[in-house]
Amino acid sequence: MSTLGISFARITRTAFVNFWRNIWLSVATMVIMIITLLMISFLYFANVFGSEVLQTIEQKVDLSVTFKEDVQDQYITTIADELKLRDDIADVRVISSDRALEIFRARHADDPLIEESLQELEDNPLPANLFIVATDPQHYANIAKHLEAEKYSPFIDQVDFENTETERVVEKLIAYTTSVKNGALVVTGLFSLLVVLIMFNTLRLAIYSFREEIDIMRLVGASRWFVQGPFIIEAILVALVAVVISSAISFATLRAISPTLSTYFFDVQQSPFSIYDYAVTNIESVIGLQVVLAVGLAGISSLVAVRRYLRN
Amino acid sequence: MISFTNVSKVYGPESAALDEVSLEIPTGDFVSIVGQSGAGKSTLLKLLSAEEAASTGEIIIDGWDITNIRRWQIPHLRRQIGVVFQDFKLLQKRTVLENVAFAMEVGGAPTKEIRDTVPHILKLVNLLDKAESYPTEMSGGEKQRVAIARALAYKPQILLADEPTGNLDALHSWDIVQLLIKINKLGTTVLLATHNDDIVNALKKRVVTISQGKVVSDQQDGTYKL
Ligand SMILES: Nc1ncnc2c1ncn2[C@@H]1O[C@H](COP(=O)(O)OP(=O)(O)O)[C@@H](O)[C@H]1O
Ligand SMILES: [Mg+2]
């Protein structure tokens, strides 16, 4: 083994000795680190889930345009094609009055009364409709305004939001995800600070409990890396174990609650969004994010601690 | 060769712990540094191990100017200089063998070399049979021999002993001095700071006397006189 290899092995061994010597402090630090990582994971997943729910609901909102009774199909198609060219419109669906009647009939197939009354009418009483899906729910107001223009008035009878209830939900959800994102930043910041403070103090105590060894190390010419390395490696080990435990907890939890969440928030018949599947698919980034954060915090606190308490 | 040229050390704003000290110590010499408490003996040794930096002057060890040594170079210097103190500075929870091995581990010596070298050193200080004992189970004289063994782990060119007999009775003190003479005979330069006149007088070696930070006498075959 090279000298560097030997040193590294010895430094790592000392890091473990440090860990055991202050086992309760080490555990306390680790617990705080785990709580922080869990908070951050929770916020991360809440954000992903929120956006997913939002998207699903957004897709349900549309603008419905009811045409006047005698408007011919060709005008409707022209208007639809024109609208499709707009940047803020994702999709335009045309339901001709014939199609509307079909749907109406299908929906009331087991109601003989309605069938009878329909047959009594000579003309199709149902107007043609357009359903517009915007690229972003914010655009609906603008689109609706556009449709109120003079040139459309001979054809269009009415423009409605398909479901104003849904619209309000969307607004709430947007507000909710924004505050989750802001909250995530604040909480992450606060807990990170807490982790740094606690780690820093743990290391200070560890350095204190090792002062005899450290004194002698210096006396016999230990390199700076040999004196400081164990504390830095100890902090990083604590961080890595915390990541493992926090990931185990969050994955187990997601797995347990994911089916309930999916049935509650998404339509069952379509393939519903599963937050657990999302986590599994993105496992590298989920764990990578935690590793970067945990090791980063551990690195900062241990570097500051050794710089401060192990000068010379 | 160790040389001090007009070296001063001031800790506080007023008093100088060392005042314009000039001194040459050839390789392989055995020098006793004597003087009353507070004279500046420890300071002189600390300048050599770079525990303190000189305020003015120049300190050169074997052509290496350590006066303004960089922090990262200090470990290299300390591996060439063994140090022993009055209070031993042993790890209480480690055995004699582990205490000596620790010094070598810290310096990155291969495990095999440590395993081979430590028994030799323990034999030199006559503690091979106590290899597995803990410092708490030993007498002061034995503890000091462990400390010397540890200081020798690197085969240093220079051994600095700061009042190594300060906590020992006459018999054990003499024991330690004999050991220092033996180490010196094996080629190591020894600097012994002490205020024990019996020992100094019996040694019949070079004596440098310091008083209030100044070298007041420097004699071969010297005696302790204040
Ligand atoms: N770290 C220090 N800070 C301030 N003064 C010191 C320090 N170390 C030693 N001194 C002072 O320097 C003088 C010499 O001390 P020292 O070298 O320890 O003497 P000796 O070892 O001969 O007893 C004393 O007056 C002592 O009080
Ligand atoms: Mg002293």
Instruction: Give the integer Cα–Cα distance in Å for B69 and B93.
Output: 34
Q: Quick check: ipTM above 0.95?
A: no
**Share above pLDDT 70 across residues of chain B, in percent, rounded to a whole number:** 100
Q: What is the mean pLDDT of residues A138-159?
A: 83
B69 Cβ under 8 Å from any chain A Cβ: no
Three-point CA angle B150, B152, B153, nearest 5°? 65
Question: In whole numbers, what is the pLDDT of chain B averaged over residues?
Answer: 94
**At which residue do the structure tokens 């990262």 appear?**
B72
Q: What is the mean pLDDT of residues A20-44?
A: 88
Q: What is the pLDDT of residues B168-189, one digit of tens each?
A: 999 999 999 999 999 999 999 9
Q: Is the pLDDT of residue A268 over 60?
A: no
Residue B50 makes CB contacts below 8 A (sequence gap 6+) with B66, B69, B74, B77, B78
Helix, coil or strand: residue A134: strand
Q: What is the mean pLDDT of residues B94-119?
A: 92
**Share above pLDDT 70 across residues of chain A, in percent, rounded to a whole number:** 92
Q: B-chain residues within 8 Å CB-CB of A226? A: 106, 108
Q: Picking from A85-89, A107-111, A182-186, which range would have the lowest pLDDT averaged per residue?
A: A107-111
pLDDT in the model for residue A72: 83
Q: Is the pLDDT of residue A43 over 60?
A: yes
Partner-chain contact A220 B154, CB within 8 Å: yes
pLDDT grade, residue B95 (50/70/90)?
very high
pLDDT grade, residue A44 (50/70/90)?
confident
Instruction: Please give the residue of chain A at the shortest CA–CA distance from B159.
Output: A220
Which residue intervals of chain B are DSSP H helices?
A: 41-48, 74-78, 96-106, 111-124, 140-152, 170-185, 197-203
pLDDT grade, residue B138 (50/70/90)?
very high
pLDDT in the model for residue B129: 96
Instruction: Give the integer Cα–Cα distance in Å for B75 and B103.
Output: 12
Q: Is the pLDDT of residue A61 over 70?
A: no
Q: Picking from A56-65, B79-88, B93-102, which range would have the lowest pLDDT averaged per residue?
A: A56-65
Residue type, B216: V
Partner-chain contact A213 B83, CB within 8 Å: no
Instruction: Give the integer Cα–Cα distance in Å for B27 and B34.
Output: 20
Query: Which stretch, A125-139, A155-169, A297-311, has highest mean pLDDT?
Result: A297-311
Q: What is the pLDDT of residues A188-246, one digit of tens each?
A: 888 889 889 988 988 888 888 888 888 888 888 888 888 888 899 999 999 999 999 99
Distance B17 CA to ligand 2 centre (A): 11
Pocket test for ligand 1, best of B4, B19, B43, B45 (most atoms within 8 A of CB): B43
Q: B-chain residues within 8 Å CB-CB of A312? A: 71, 74
The CA–CA distances, whole Å, from B75 to A221, A227, B106, B210 equal 4, 11, 10, 28
Q: What is the pLDDT of residues A46-56, one digit of tens each?
A: 888 888 877 77
End-to-end C-alpha distance for chain B, whole angstroms: 27
Q: What is the pLDDT of residues A90-108, one digit of tens each?
A: 888 888 888 888 877 777 7
Instruction: Give the integer Cα–Cα distance in Å for B24 and A20.
Output: 49
Partner-chain contact A220 B111, CB within 8 Å: no
Tell me which ligand sits closest to the C-alpha of residue B46: 1
Instruction: Give the integer Cα–Cα distance in Å for B81 and B157.
Output: 6
pTM: 0.72
Partner-chain contact B106 A222, CB within 8 Å: yes
The CA–CA distances, whole Å, from A256 to A119, A167, A274, A283, B206 equal 54, 31, 11, 17, 82
Q: Is the pLDDT of residue A270 over 60?
A: no
Ligand 1 pocket by Cβ (under 6 Å)? B 11-12, 15, 17, 35, 37-43
**Share above pLDDT 90 across residues of chain A, in percent, rounded to a whole number:** 19
Q: Picking from B44-53, B99-108, B139-148, which range would have the lowest pLDDT averaged per residue?
A: B99-108
| Furthest C-alpha separation in chain A | 108
Question: In whole numbers, what is the pLDDT of chain A averaged over residues?
Answer: 83
B53 Cβ under 8 Å from any chain A Cβ: no
Q: Is the pLDDT of residue A269 over 60?
A: no
On whether the CB atoms of residues A114 and A125 are closer than 8 A, the answer is no
